[in-house]
Amino acid sequence: MYNGKDLLTTRARDIYDFARQTLRILFTPKELNECILPPGRKHLARPALDAERFDKFHEAVRVKYRISALHYDSCYSKLIKPRLSDFLCDERKRQAKSLVQSSTAAENTFQALQ
């Protein structure tokens, strides 16, 4: 449960889609844009996502797909983590692109009014 929403009821095609949807529920678009997957390192420019909420994410994925606690770490590091890293990069690109498009639309509207 997170903010009154049961994370296990999230509908998804597969474990990767469920992971992406769950991150979107647990974190704001700004956090997804500015942060990296935990654990963050001191030498990296971006901070890590909140550890408490990320633990909720781990528990939701593990319970939803019935992965034993013994095997979850290897499943996460080999299968899920690379996809989530790509997801965060894509989120940054998506937000940057929408920013450019909105500023271009505003410029076009401004020019049309003159």
**To the nearest whole number, what is the mean pLDDT of the chain?**
89
Q: Which DSSP symbol is given to 91?
A: H
CATH class, domain 7-113, is mainly alpha
Structure tokens at 114: 């003159």
Confidence of residue 112 (pLDDT cuts 50, 70, 90): low
Q: Where are the domains of the chain?
A: 7-113
Contacts of residue 21, Cβ cutoff 8 Å, sequence gap at least 6: 10, 11, 12
d(CA 103, CA 9): 37
pTM of the model: 0.82
List pLDDT tens digits, range 28-69. 999 999 999 998 777 888 899 999 999 999 999 999 999 999
d(CA 25, CA 43): 28
CB 19 within 8 A of CB 85: no
